[in-house]
Amino acid sequence: MFKKLFQITALLSVMLFFNSCGYNRMVALDEEVKSGWAQVENAYQRRADLIPNLVNTVKGAANFEQETLTKVIEARSKATGITIDPSKITPDAIQKFQEAQNELSGALSRLLVSVEKYPELKANQNFLDLQSQLEGTENRISVARKDFNETVKTYNTYIRKFPNNLISGMFGFEQKGYFEADKGSEKAPTVDFGK
C-alpha cells in the first residue's frame, strides 16, 4: 500500500514539475511554430502551383522570350526543391529557403516586365486573372511570414527566459530562425528620370 501511494505521489510530482516548469508550454509553442511554418509553405506552394498556368498562357504569345520562361521554370524547380524540417527551422535553413524563393520572385518579376512588350497578353483575360492571383498570393506570403515571425518570437522569448532556459536546454528546445528582410532592402532605390 505504501509503495503504491509513493508511486502515485512520485508520478503526480513529476507531472506537476513538467507542468509548472514550462515544459508543456514549450511543447505548445513549438507546435505553433510548426503550424506557422506550414502556413508559410502553403502560401509559397500556392504561388508555385500558379506558375505553370502562367507560363503556359505566356507561351501562347508569338515570339515570347524563351529564355525568360526557362528561367522562371528553373527558379520554380529550385524553390520547390528546398524544404525545411519544421523541427529544424534554423536561421541558415530559412536563409537558403528565402534565397531560392527570392530567385523565383526575381524571375517572375522579369517575366511580368517582359509581358509589357506584348499587348495581346496584357489583354488576355486568363493572363490577367493569373496575374491577379499571383498578386494576392504575394500578399498571403507576406502575411504568413509576418505571422510566422511573431510565433517564432514568442517561442524564442519563452525558451530563453529564466528558469525556462534551463528546461529548454535539457530537453533540446532550440531557438528558431526568422524571415529577415533582404540585404540592401533598407536603402530606397534611386530614381533618375534623366537630365
Burial category of 46 from C-beta neighbours within 10 Å (exposed 0-12, middle 13-18, buried 19 and up):
middle
Domain assignment present for 163: yes
Count of structural domains within the chain = 1
Q: Is the pLDDT of residue 90 over 80?
A: yes
Collect contacts of 109-113 with beta carbons under 8 A, ≥24 apart.
110/68, 110/71, 110/72, 111/54, 111/58, 111/68, 111/69, 111/72
In a domain? residue 62: yes
Q: Is residue 64 part of a domain?
A: yes
| CATH classification of the domain holding 94 | 1.20.1440.20
What angle, rounded to 10 degrees, do the helices at 2-20 and 23-59 form?
50
Can you give the residue range of the structural domain that contains 91? 24-170
- H helices of the chain, where? 2-20, 23-59, 66-81, 91-114, 119-122, 125-160, 164-170
* Residues 83, 63: Cα–Cα separation, whole Å: 35
Whether the CB-CB separation of 26 and 168 falls below 8 Å is answered with: yes
Assigned C-alpha cell, 103: 530567385
The half-sphere exposure of 80 on its side-chain side, counting CA atoms within 13 A, is: 15
> Mind listing the pLDDT tens digit for each residue in 54-66?
888 888 765 667 8
Q: Is residue 35 part of a domain?
A: yes
pTM of the model: 0.77
Q: Is residue 1 part of a domain?
A: no
Shortest CA distance to 145 belongs to which of 34, 51, 36? 36
DSSP 86: G
Asked whether residue 99 is domain-assigned, the answer is yes
For 96-131, what is each residue's pLDDT tens digit? 999 999 999 999 998 888 888 888 877 788 888 988
Q: Does the residue 181 lie in any domain? A: no
Domain for residue 5, yes or no? no
Tens-place pLDDT, residues 137-156: 999 999 999 999 999 999 99
